[in-house]
């Protein structure tokens, strides 16, 4: 069982959108980065846990917990000419992009990026690494545990 962090722009798809989705589940489609794809295709397993992170918004940060509910299969939007995720180089025989499915476990209080950065225990977290832009990053068991504890504390002044 592994831990992850999944970024989404709330203007595109927010934690509330997930809460409103049928079965509180969705395909994590639209990932067009090879490293992130490889994490989904090669490493994610049903039952893995992930933080849901809001990016490119007023206060970026972790807003919930999800579980991987289905392992990777070809992302349908790569074949859809009307989708902004259409990839002319992808074919059904040789799909290029994959997605897992995630299911909402719970919404949490907002753990902002600045609050995460203020934690010495998280100084090595991949999300916080200089120049990191990956939309899917691994989270260590220690980091996961620490952030779960953080969530129990009241929302800080940061």
132 vs 149, beta carbon nearer DNA: 132
Residue where the block lists tokens 């899917």? 136
b/e 100-123 (16+ beta carbons within 10 angstroms → b): bbbbbeeebbbbbbebbeeeeebe
Residue 56 touches DNA, criterion: CB under 7 A: yes
Residues 95-134 within binding reach of DNA (CB under 7 A):
113-114, 130-134
Given 16, 35, 86, 124, the residue binding DNA (CB under 7 A): 35
CB of 77 to DNA, least distance (A): 13
Q: Report which DSSP code applies to 135.
A: S
Binding letters toward DNA, positions 4-23, x by CB under 7 A:
---x-x--------------
Judge whether 111 and 62 are in contact, CB under 8 Å: yes
Rounded CA gap, 59 and 55, in Å? 8
Alpha carbons 74 and 94: distance in angstroms, whole number: 9
- Say whether residue 149 binds DNA (CB under 7 A): no
Q: Is residue 61 a contact partner of residue 116, using CB atoms and an 8 Å limit?
A: yes
Of 68 and 127, the one with the shorter C-beta distance to DNA is 127
The overall longest dimension of the chain from CA atoms, in Å, is: 52
- Of 28-36, 38-46, 72-80, 140-148, which part binds DNA (CB under 7 A)? 28-36
Q: Strand 49-54 relative to strand 3-8: parallel, antiparallel, unpaired?
A: parallel
For DNA, the binding residue among 60, 65, 77, 139 (CB under 7 A) is 60
Residue 109: CB minimum distance to DNA, A: 18
Q: Give the nearer residue to DNA in terms of CB position, either 104 or 113.
A: 113
Binding site for DNA (CB under 7 A): 7, 9, 32-35, 55-57, 60, 113-114, 130-135
């Amino acid at each position: 069982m592994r831990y992850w962090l999944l970024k989404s722009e709330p203007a595109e798809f927010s934690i509330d959108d997930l809460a409103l989705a049928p079965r509180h589940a969705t395909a994590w489609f639209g990932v067009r980065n090879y490293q992130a794809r490889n994490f989904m295709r090669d490493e994610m397993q049903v039952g893995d846990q992930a933080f849901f992170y809001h990016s490119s918004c007023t206060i970026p940060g972790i807003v919930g917990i999800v579980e991987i509910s289905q392992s990777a299969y070809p992302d349908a939007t790569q074949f859809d000419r009307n989708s902004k995720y259409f990839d002319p180089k992808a074919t059904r025989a040789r799909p290029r992009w994959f997605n897992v499915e995630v299911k909402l476990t719970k919404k949490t209080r907002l753990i902002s990026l600045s609050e995460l950065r203020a934690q010495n225990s998280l100084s090595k977290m991949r999300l916080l690494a200089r120049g990191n832009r990956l939309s899917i990053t691994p989270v260590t068991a220690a980091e996961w545990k620490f952030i779960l504890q953080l969530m129990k504390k009241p929302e800080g002044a940061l």
